[in-house]
Amino acid sequence: MKAEDIFHATVKKYQMIQRGDRIVVGVSGGPDSITLLNLLYRYSEFYQIRLICAHLNHNFRPGDAEKDAEYVKEFCRARHIPCVAEFVDVPDMAAKGGLSSEQAGRKARYGLFNRVLNENKFNKIAVAHNMEDQVETVLMRLIRGAGTEGLGGIRPVRGNIIRPLLETPRALIEEYCVKNRLNPVTDKSNFQPVYYRNKIRLELLPYIKANYNGGIERALLDMAQILRQENDYLDGACRKIFKEYVSEAETGRLEFRREDLMGLHNAVRRRVLRMGVEYLKGNTDNLEFGHIEQVCALLESGKTGKRINLPRGLVAGIEYGKVFLDDKQDSKKALDGVYRLVIPGTTRLHEINGIIEADIIGVDRYVKQKDCDNNTAFMDFEITGRNLMASKRKEGEKFIPLGMKGTKKLKDLFIDAKVPREKRDCIPIIRNEHGIVWVAGHRIDDKYRINKSTGQVLKLEYRQDLTGEEY
């Protein structure tokens, strides 16, 4: 098969691209990203998409990096593709932030990609990981002792990030570049066993292939796919258990009955506890297997008053038959920005690690509000309009909650829903020029409900940003 054949097959298999998508393409100038940009450009009319290129000079290779940036800008100019090229001193960023070069580089890149996306009202980010990148990632995580989530490797689609080349071999990408005379730049550091990933690529994988398993790549890819599917199934099952067992106290901490958790299989119990951390922090960064095992040991001890500290300001404890997770840093969070919703598309609420997905659907795909969770809302798009903003609560605001006749103060809604005072500024309030449209996670305003004359439906989904993967 050719690179373009696998590209199309991957896009179709994972439904990566929809008509009208506006895609930010992360481009370094190397063979992978140039192939990705060129394929998306060549088939932009076929997919009916718009593109913008984002390039970051990491300051890793002074001199060569500037030439790479010029190459990318010229490549885009020749094809009339808008290009945003910026410089970030990543080595300095890593030193000041206590990060590795790889971590700092990733943070800087995705910071640029997301800013370009929001500023231009685009809705997706395309990055150029290939099949060998997937193999290397799985092997790296295996060595580090990752669980099933990590061993599933890089996800083809994660949130609004798509990876159309993830199943394309590097050799076919290089062949495509030669055939189409793209002349990508070459990063010589990729051929030096300096970084951890490079050592895997240049030293460990060749050794395993020569001495143990010549088909190691296929074996790792198959394993990753199986684990992704099984992990998704387990995650869905455990999420139902989490929703059933967890409660949120007025202080904002999460509580479980000890006897409920004790009745679970260890594998399910660990996942449910991780979901508690994810709920409070938005992700499970820096949370290791040993931390969850400490909470499980606390649970088994049953000793009232005992507490342990977890990463990022979390505390776990046990009190009178209840196990709790408490975020001591949560009161410092607030949604201070004002965000214009990308419709259709994705809007990231950076201060609270939140995401709002917006879509316009036919009334035949509408789900009654009582049949979906509170984080999803369906409204009459012709009444809401497209000019919607997300920000925190305002003093004295009122609206008409769905199903009610009169107005209700936002403050009273939070009191009735037992939302802790310190968490109220973290809840996105969606407004148009007339006032509140939706209190995310709670109620829409009654005047935007679906009715017999509704033509187009606006679907909004609020969730936590879980895209903070390492690669």
Instruction: Report the CATH number that the domain containing residue 253 is assigned in CATH.
Output: 3.30.465.60
| 233 domain-assigned | no
Structurally, the chain folds into a number of domains equal to 3
Residue 47: give its domain's CATH number: 3.40.50.620
Same domain, 309 and 377: no
pLDDT along the chain (471 residues), means of 10: 96 95 96 97 96 90 85 96 91 80 85 91 95 95 87 92 96 97 82 74 94 95 95 93 84 88 95 91 82 93 89 89 82 77 90 88 73 80 94 92 90 81 85 95 93 91 62 46
Residue that is last in its domain, among 331, 355, 384: 331
pLDDT score, position 329:
61
Q: Looking at the structure, tell me whether residues 292 and 374 fall in a common domain.
A: no
Query: Looking at the structure, do residues 446 and 298 belong to the same domain, yes or no?
Result: no
**Is the backbone peptide bond immediately before 311 cis, with ω within 30 degrees of 0?**
no
Looking at the domain assignment, is residue 241 inside a domain? no
Same domain, yes or no: 277 and 137: no
| Pair (168, 36) in one structural domain | yes
Please tell me whether residues 345 and 366 are part of one structural domain: yes
Does 471 fall in a domain?
no
237 falls within a domain: no
Q: Tell me the CATH number at 452.
A: 3.50.40.10
Considering the domain boundaries, does residue 316 fall inside one? yes
Distance, in Å, from the CA atom of 352 to the CA atom of 332, rounded to the nearest integer, reads 10
Q: Which of 294, 315, 331 is the last residue of a domain?
A: 331
Same domain, 326 and 255: yes
Determine, yes or no, domain membership for 230.
no
Residues 41 and 87 in one domain: yes
- Indicate whether 136 belongs to any domain: yes
469 part of a folded domain = no
Q: Identify whether residues 175 and 131 lie together within a single domain.
A: yes
Q: Are residues 8 and 101 in the same domain?
A: yes
SS3 sequence, the chain? CCHHHHHHHHHHHCCCCCCCCEEEEECCCCHHHHHHHHHHHHCHHHHCCEEEEEEEECCCCCCHHHHHHHHHHHHHHHHCCCEEEEECCHHHHHHHHCCCHHHHHHHHHHHHHHHHHHHCCCCEEECCCCHHHHHHHHHHHHHHCCCHHHHCCCCCEECCEECCCCCCCHHHHHHHHHHCCCCCCCCHHHHCCCCHHHHHHHHHHHHHHHHCCCCHHHHHHHHHHHHHHHHHHHHHHHHHHHHHHCEECCCCCEEEEHHHHHCCCHHHHHHHHHHHHHHHHCCCCCCCHHHHHHHHHHHHHCCCCCEEEEHHHEEEEEECCEEEEEECCHHHCCCCCCEECCCCEEEEEHHHCEEEEEEEEEHHHCCCHHHCCCCEEEEEHHHHCCCCEEECCCCCCEECECCCCCCEEHHHHHHHCCCCHHHHHHCCEEEECCEEEEECCCCEEHHHCCCCCCCEEEEEEEEECCCCCCC
Domain that holds residue 439: 339-464
Token pair 């009191």 is at which residue?
Answer: 415
Query: For the purposes of burial, counting CB atoms within 10 Å of the CB of 197, is it exposed (0-12), middle (13-18) or buried (19 or more)?
Result: middle
| Last residue in a domain, options 300, 331, 362 | 331
356 and 425 part of one domain:
yes
Q: Note whether 170 and 319 are same-domain residues.
A: no
